[in-house]
Amino acid sequence: MLEDSLVTQETSNGPADSSQPASLEWFAPRKRALLAPFGVGTIDQAELGALNVSHNALRLFGLAGKTIILDEVHAYDTYVSSIVERLLSWLSELGTSVILLSATLPAQRRKALIQAYGIQPEDPDQLTGYPCLWVGSAAGQYVDHPPAAQPERLMRLECLSDLDPDPQQQAQWLLSRLEPKGCVCWIVNTVDRAQKLFQAVDRLAPPDVQRLLIHSRYSVQQREVLETWLNALGPSGKRPERAIVIGTQVLEQSLDLDFDWMVTDLAPIDLLLQRAGRLHRHHHRTPEDRGGYPQALLSIYCPMDQAGSLQSDKLGYIYPEYLLLRTAAILQGRSQFVLPEDTRFLIDYVYTHPDPDDPADWQSAWQKFDRSCSTDRGEAENRLLPYPDPRDPCTRPMASLTFEEDEDRAGWIVARTRLGPESMTVIPLEVRDGETYCIGLDQPLRLDQPADTDLQLRLLRHTIKVSGDRLVPALREDIGRRQVIFEQSRLLRNVWPLLLVNRKKDLPGIDTLLELDDRLGLVIHRKKG
């Protein structure tokens, strides 16, 4: 952590301004990584270097001459990819080395990223092998195909096309196939679905089965506790005899976990392969270690109607329908994958344009997907810096319009680093005996004065991110004017207080109830009607 690595203190020739200078904002934890010699963070702060926002030149200066590592680049949507491509063009001119990592990158995305850095592959056919290492610069190019860590990895498949969508029925089905020994997981596409499925599993599972739920609607501190538990499923962890983990996309990336059996909701094929990377991952484990799951089995919940058409609404509207249709089609009739041999073919098939003789619903879904991608590219283009040109200063577009930097709002004037519904970061609070407490801290808060840095950092560990184009405006209106502790504490300026009564918050205007549960995280109940 970098909390203590860059100690900042305001200097002044006179009394300090009550609203701390903007320069100190540069030393908030979310921005320090761009200034420090070494740093770890999300892609968002780096993206702002390619957007038409104030101080983007300082961001580019912070990235110049360094080595930037971008992981899981396949997961970037069209909007983010457009920004990253422009960022790559600037980093190339600034002498910054960039390492792009992905196990499931479609061919056209790989080509676009390489060209954005200013290099044309000498022999594109050399990049079709898998795994593939490509190195390019003005001095030349190098291609290698290192051996896979697990060559000819056989993974059995089953499509659960007629599984009842009711969480209670799905929990009963999962437990009916739970062996006397083994650690299994179900990765679902939405937080709401994960919470409901976990509740059903938790009610029905026998006492000897350990249960865990993990998703993005926990506080930072809770996530750390959950991930510590997950370490038991890591390469050197002491695995439980029987365990069920229910989670969302947070299980897809950056966690070195190994499950004996995996169930997953249908998702685009590259994300399915990412999820499958947590199945029989650690090859030092013996069949005896895996109990009743000596072979890798990936069970994919792919709901179909009686006519054999995909019912994508039962999966949540998270992924483009076209990619789900292509993925479902390539799964039908398959009983296994052989990885990494099949990886490149599977990904390129799903991310290919439809043929004229493909089904009509594919054509319709493709047109919708193509329009969405074009719209997203346009949204990004409106906010981007121009391409680097020594004859044309990048400050010219900023003179006419500069977009606002805000991680939560979703207006057109905001330099958004990713598309999606409006969001906000909240700290759950409650009143006890006339004092206001952060749920999770025993220390009463003085809301009428700024907090010191130590308290701000402790409060940030209890923040939760919520989103929704109806939910967030309703919360902002309900909260109204924020107290001094949030307005004048520099690390809390983008944080909102969520005042709960008996750990609940009723928003009658949008028929929604928020409930903070120790095991489920923040639950959003949408009332019927």
Specify whether the CB–CB gap between 31 and 8 falls below 8 A.
no
C-alpha dihedral, 44 to 49 to 53 to 57, nearest 10°: 150
Q: What is the pLDDT of residue 4?
A: 44
- CB-based contacts of 518, cutoff 8 Å, min separation 6: none
Distance CA 495, CA 423 (A): 11
Q: What is the pLDDT of residue 3?
A: 44
Count of C-beta atoms within a 10 Å radius of residue 401:
10
Side chain identity at residue 242, one-letter code: R
pTM for the full predicted model: 0.87
Distance CA 398, CA 519 (A): 47
- CB-based contacts of 9, cutoff 8 Å, min separation 6: none
Phi then psi for residue 354, to 5 deg, are -70, 150
pLDDT tens track, the chain, 529 positions? 334 444 555 555 555 444 445 555 555 555 556 777 887 777 888 888 888 887 777 888 889 999 999 998 988 999 999 999 999 999 999 999 999 999 888 888 999 999 999 998 877 777 888 889 999 998 899 999 999 888 888 999 999 999 999 999 999 999 999 999 999 999 999 999 999 999 999 999 999 999 999 999 999 999 999 999 999 999 998 999 999 999 999 998 778 999 999 999 999 999 999 999 999 999 889 888 899 999 999 999 999 988 888 998 888 889 999 999 999 999 988 999 999 999 999 999 999 888 888 889 999 999 999 999 999 999 899 888 888 887 776 655 555 556 555 555 555 456 677 778 888 999 999 988 889 999 989 889 999 999 999 999 999 999 999 999 899 999 999 998 889 999 999 889 889 999 999 999 999 999 999 999 999 999 999 876 4
- CB-based contacts of 149, cutoff 8 Å, min separation 6: 283
Q: What is the pLDDT of residue 13?
A: 52
Reading phi first (left if > 0) and then psi (alpha if -120 to 50, else beta), residue 254 is in left
Q: What is the pLDDT of residue 6?
A: 46
DSSP for 8-22 reads -----SSSPPSS--G
Side chain identity at residue 228, one-letter code: T
Looking at the chain, the number of H-run helices and the number of E-run strands are 16, 18
Q: What is the pLDDT of residue 398?
A: 56
Tokens of 374: 């074009």
Domains within the chain, CATH numbers bracketed: 153-339 (3.40.50.300), 423-526 (no CATH)
DSSP for 237-270 reads ----SEEEEEE-GGGTSS----BSEEEEE---HH
